[in-house]
Amino acid sequence: MGKKRGYLAGLFGKVPIWLPLESSGLVLSPAGGGKTVGFVIPALMSNSTNMIAADLKGTLAAITRRHRQKKFGHKIFTLNPAGRFGDILGPGSRFNPLKILEKNWADAKRFRFLISDAQMLAKQLLPEPVKESNNTFFRNGSRKLLVFAFVYLVITTGKVTLSAALRLLSDMGEISSALYAASVDDRLDGDLARMANDILGKMSEGSSEQLESFREGALQVLEPFAPSGVLADATDDSDFDFADLRRMNATVYIICDPTQMEAFASWLGLVMEAAKTELIRNTDGKEVTLMIDEATNFKFATLPALLTSAREFKLCIWLVAQELEQWAHVYGREALETLLSQTEVKIIHGSRSYKTCHLVSNMLGDYSLYTTSYNKGTSVFGPIGVSESETGRKMLTPDEVARCEQAIVFAGNNPPMLLDKIGYHEVHPWWKQADPNPLFGKKKYKGRLRLWL
């Protein structure tokens, strides 16, 4: 663990502890707890593995992009629809999350994935809520319309975008024409016609209001990709393929606009879903790491299931979040059990949640505390009695976990560790290799140097 291989977890005295990762890891830290400067940026500065980094503010790219390009020889792709820090990052790359459907239709070996991939993307756009809801029927109907629009466009034009699907579903005349044309289309072994006839049946008298509810649900999730918005241009075509990360040295930063997080969260989830699918279908080549910072600020629908199989597909996943309860809120209580059981490394930079502190305290376990008692007996001149007792005590109580200033680290089957946190600004030469954080001016961030590499 002392050798420079893997990811820097902290310092044991003056010794840096590097942890390898084969499948998935979790970093937990409240706002201001140091997860970005103490883990995410050090990982980007030190690890040459191909990475896809969810960068919700754009600062990770601004600080580490130039270093990864120069030090590791990586080709850098920045998906940056809003043009965050454009003067530093330059023009962004385009990526169409529906490009995978175009590839499926164009490839005789993949066309049978077309409908299932369209369903997967529709479910990412319109996921099921964590709590049971009575509106499942209407969500299924909206997804069915989305799937039809995606498949119809790619079959008839060879190209499909989210903006094109929005235009199609926004016009009832266009929808009707598309449905009647598709109802006699024998491509996809008649599946396109089957979908069209099913929807046409709902357009009959008495079902028009129901169909309109389906259409409204589909339009709501496509609205962020309206032609006048920044996401339309960014998803109009693709300048690269995520499968390229298996063949070249590359880093992809996916940058959001914090002022439009609801719209960008939908886009970010779609991009991650498309990336995962391409990487799983193309496993030959290099390992790829998903660095998912602020992992609970958006929903990546198949992420909990991916945690159980990432290693087989040469994927490593780092999930960086503020609280476990946020994960449960986004993905559900069962997914929380998956998160805890499937992450081989857990780095806890503190917590303000009693539930989380209690859980960490239990994970640390107990130890035996031996105490010795003395008593004089009934006579001042009598012999002194000595007794010993053994009691169990938590390694750290929930209150002590909450107040702990060190990182609590669980790594595989090793005993838990207490490590001193260290930021990239306290490491030579990272502090000078990293670029300034544009949110704090043009001066490089430097602290008291504590580690020389």
Chunk the chain into consecutive blocks of 10 residues (it has 453) and report each block's average pLDDT, rounded to whole numbers: 76 95 94 92 96 96 97 98 95 96 91 94 91 76 96 96 97 92 92 91 70 91 95 96 97 95 93 96 96 94 94 96 92 92 94 90 82 66 69 84 94 93 96 95 90 93
Could you give the 3-state DSSP secondary structure of residue 88?
helix
CA geometry: angle 9, 13, 14, nearest 5 deg: 85
Of 369, 362, 368, 336, give the one whose Cα is nearest residue 416.
Answer: 362
Q: Measured between alpha carbons, how far is 80 from 210 in angstroms, rounded to an integer?
A: 38
**CA pair distance 173, 28, nearest whole angstrom:** 51
pTM over 0.75: yes
Structure tokens belonging to residue 76: 């850098």
Q: Name the residue among 342, 278, 268 with its Cα closest to residue 310.
A: 342
Amino acid at 45: M
CA distance 102 to 192: 15
Cβ neighbours around 48 below 10 Å, total: 12
Q: Which residue has the tokens 């449960």?
A: 328
What is residue 369's predicted lDDT score, i.e. its pLDDT? Answer: 67
Using the CB atoms, write b or e for 52-87: b if 16+ within 10 Å: bbbbbbbbbbbbbbbbbeeebebebbbbbbbbbbee
The pLDDT of residue 207 is: 66
